[in-house]
Amino acid sequence: MLVAVLFAAAAFAQTSTPAAVSTKPVTPAEKAQMKTMRQDVRKRDDDKAAAKKAINHGHLAAAKTDVAAAKTEKTDIKTDRKDLKSEGVTHPEKLATKEVKKTDEKAVKTEVKDVKEAKTAEKADAKAGDKTASASEKTDVKTDKKDLKKDIKDAKRDGIKHPLRRA
């Protein structure tokens, strides 16, 4: 048993680690195409969400137009994917959806930070006895919370399960 373990250890010690994957520099054309793909992915998500909302409210004609818009966005995504794959980008659609999710998470994090800062400023003003500054901070908290709710809704629509927990 000991001999087998020694031979296994020797065999693993001789294997080399795989070389780092060489990443070629990204050209400005690829950046522009990825940007359009991200925009197309976001538009498709918006159209699908609008169609779902229209169906839930019973507006079938509006839902049909939203579904048709989502289908055209999907064809745009397919053409962008073909172009990017021909330039050597692997899995461009998956990459674009990840980048969209990343920007959504970043927006939620910044809004959470803004809400916390506004709340602490409001408490500090209330403690100091400055009622006008406290009232203005209270309105800032309300607007920041409203923006946070919007960002959370957008993030959920784009596929992030618990955006507030991730913030």
Instruction: Please report, for the chain, the start and end positions of each structural domain, with discontinuous segments joined by +.
Output: 28-90, 100-167
d(CA 42, CA 65): 17
- The conformation of residue 21, written as its DSSP 8-state character, comes to P
Q: State residue 15's pLDDT score.
A: 59
Q: How does pLDDT run across 108-130, given as a tens digit for each residue?
A: 999 999 999 999 999 998 888 88
Query: Residue 19 phi/psi, 5° resolution?
Result: -65, 150
Q: How does pLDDT run across 60-100, given as a tens digit for each residue?
A: 999 999 999 999 999 999 999 999 888 888 888 998 898 99
SS3 29: helix
d(CA 118, CA 126): 12
Which amino acid does the sequence have at 86? Answer: S
Instruction: Tell me the average pLDDT across 8-35.
Output: 71
